[in-house]
Amino acid sequence: MASKVIHALYNDDDLLLQAVKQIREGRYHIGEIYTPFPVHGLDKAMGLATTRIAIASFMYGIVGLGVAVAMMNFIMIEDWPQDIGGKPSFSYIQNMPAFVPIMFELTVFFAAHLMVITFYMRSKLWPFKKAENPDLRTTDDMFLVEIDASHHDVNDLTNFLYDTGAAEINLIEK
């Protein structure tokens, strides 16, 4: 069975925020919202769960720290504890100050890069990915709300969206 969605386009982000609140109050299901720029407070209005990418980043940072410590402990202390300029390579802690810059950099490196890669994977972004833009104007100046219309009367929904200030309402059969 073909599913129907309605694309409601808005001109203004304030209008969009208002409309999103009303749509949610009207118990309609918002499939997706396309905006040309970040709209402050939109995620809250939509009721999206907060991101956990910071937690992931923290854990990646700990992994990076662990890698740095393990690497330098093996190379400098265990494998070949050579005396280089009188630095004490008898145990890790004795020579630790010299390792701190690397520990720090690797922590940041892992935290940053793995977090970015996580972001790309979670948001399914990569080169040569086919753009999923339903309406070209949403990258420039229009805000588009996609609403699931399968279980609703299309006329009612259209009227409702018109009242929320939509500049353009399209019915899309998928």
Residues lying near other proteins in the complex (CB under 8 A): 54, 58, 80-86, 88-91, 94, 97-98, 100
Distances (CA, A) of 7 to 11, 94, 104, 144, 148: 13, 65, 48, 6, 9
Angle 132-162-6 (CA atoms, 0-180°, nearest 5)?
30
The minimum distance between CB 97 and other proteins, in angstroms, equals 4
The minimum distance between CB 131 and other proteins, in angstroms, equals 32
Reading the block at residue 105, the tokens are 């950099």
Question: Which CB sits closer to other proteins, 73 or 170?
Answer: 73
Question: Which CB sits closer to other proteins, 64 or 147?
Answer: 64
* Torsion angle of C-alpha atoms 151, 154, 156, 157, degrees rounded to 10: 80
Question: Which CB sits closer to other proteins, 63 or 98?
Answer: 98
Reading the block at residue 76, the tokens are 């400098």
Q: What is the Cβ-side half-sphere exposure of residue 48, based on CA atoms within 13 angstroms?
A: 13
The minimum distance between CB 79 and other proteins, in angstroms, equals 9
Sheet strands (E) in 49-155: 143-148
* Torsion angle of C-alpha atoms 77, 83, 84, 85, degrees rounded to 10: 130
Question: Which CB sits closer to other proteins, 54 or 70?
Answer: 54
The minimum distance between CB 59 and other proteins, in angstroms, equals 12
The minimum distance between CB 19 and other proteins, in angstroms, equals 22
Question: Which CB sits closer to other proteins, 47 or 86?
Answer: 86
